Structure 1
Amino acid sequence: MATAANTVQLRLSKTLGALLGVHAGDSLGATLEFNSYREIKKNFPNGLRDIIGGGTFGWPPGHATDDTDLTRAVLLAYHDRANHNLLKIPGKDFDIARSVADWSLDWYEGDWPGRKKGQAPKDIGGATHVGLLNYSHLHDPRRCGAGDGKAGNGSLMRCIPTGLFTRGRDERIKESKEISAITHNDSRCTVSCAAYNEIVAALLDGKTPQTAVGIGLEVAREQDHIDVVDAIERGRTLSISKFANEGPGDELPDNTSGYVLQSLTVAIAALLDPRSLEDVLVDVTRIGGDTDTNGAISGGLLGARDGIEAIPERWLNTLQFRTEFEELAQDILDLASSPAEGLPSSYKKRHGLAG
Structure 2
Amino acid sequence: MSSQPRTTPNPATSKVLGALLGVHAGDSLGATLEFKPWRMIRTKYPNGLREIIGGGSFGWPAGHATDDTDLTRAVLLAYLDRSAHAQTHTTATPAQPFDLTRTAADHCLSWYNGDWPGRTPGSSPRDIGGATDTGLSNYEASGNPLTSGAGPDSAGNGSLMRCVATGLFTAGREDRIKESKAISAITHNDVRCTISCAVYNEMVAALLAGKTPAEAVQIGCEVASELDCPAVEAALRRGEEVSLEQFASEGPASDFPDWSSGYVLQSLSLAVAALLDARSFEDVLVDVVRIGGDTDTNGAIAGGLLGAREGVEGIPERWLEKLQFREEFEEGVRKMLG
Report the TM-score range of the alignment, normalised by the length of the smaller protein: over 0.9
Alignment correspondent of 2:12: 11
2:50 paired with 1:57: no
1:247 corresponds, among 238, 248, 251, to: 251
Separation of aligned partners in 2, 1:310 and 1:40 = 25
Letter in 1 for 2:83: A
Q: Which residue of 2 aligns with 1:21?
A: 22
**Equivalences for residues 245-324 of structure 1 within 5 A:** 245-253=249-257, 255-324=259-328
Q: Percent of aligned pairs with the same residue?
A: 66
> Matches of 1:254 and 1:289 in 2, distance apart?
6
- Structure 1 residue 254: deviation in Å? 5.9
CA RMSD, Structure 1 to Structure 2 (Å): 0.9
Q: Which runs of 5+ in 2 are unaligned?
A: 1-8
* CA shift for structure 1 position 255: 3.9
Contact 1:255 1:287 in 2 (8 A): no
Whole-Å Cα distance in 1 between the matches of residues 183 and 23 of structure 2?
17
Q: Aligned equivalents of 1:148 and 1:43: distance in 2?
A: 38
Give the TM-score taking structure 2 as reference length: 0.95
Compute the displacement of 1:333 (Å). 1.2
- Tell me by how many angstroms 1:172 deviates: 0.1
Match of 1:116 in 2: 120
TM-score by length of 1: 0.91
Unaligned runs of 5+ in 1: 1-7, 335-355
Matched, 1:167 2:171: yes
C-alpha contact (below 8 Å) 1:146/1:184 kept by paired residues: yes
For the 8 Å contact 1:164–1:201, the answer to whether it is kept is: yes
Q: What's the CA shift for 1:91? A: 5.4
CA-CA distance at 1:24 after TM superposition = 0.1
How many residue pairs are counted as aligned between the two chains?
327
AA partner of residue 333 (structure 1):
L
Alignment check: 8 A CA contact 2:35 2:260 kept: no
Shift of 1:250: 1.4
Instruction: For 1:117, give the aligned amino acid.
Output: P
Alpha-carbon distance in structure 2 between the residues aligned to 1:251 and 1:187: 21
8 Å Cα contact 2:86-2:95 kept in structure 1 = no
Question: Is the aligned partner of 1:95 residue 2:96?
Answer: no
SS of the equivalent of 1:231 reads helix
Partner of 2:190: 186
User: In structure 1, the residue corresponding to 2:254 is in which secondary structure?
Assistant: helix
Amino acid at match of 1:102: D
Q: Which amino acid counterpart does residue 211 of structure 1 have in structure 2?
A: E
Letter in 2 for 1:79: L
In the other structure, the counterpart of 1:344 is none
- Structure 1 CA distance for aligned equivalents of residues 120 and 256 of structure 2: 38
Alignment of 1:75-224 (within 5 A): 75-88=76-89, 89-90=93-94, 92-224=96-228
Give, in whole Å, the separation in 1 of the partners of 2:318 and 2:18: 15
User: Is the contact made by 2:37 and 2:258 (CA closer than 8 Å) also made in structure 1?
Assistant: no
Following the alignment from structure 2 to structure 1, what is the Cα–Cα distance between the partners of residues 332 and 243? Answer: 35
Could you report, residue by residue, the CA deviation over 1:296-320 in whole angstroms, capped at 9, with x for unpaired residues? 0000000000000000000000000
Measured in 2, the distance between the counterparts of 1:74 and 1:170 equals 19
User: Are the equivalent residues in 2 in contact too, given 1:248–1:255 (CA < 8 A)?
Assistant: no
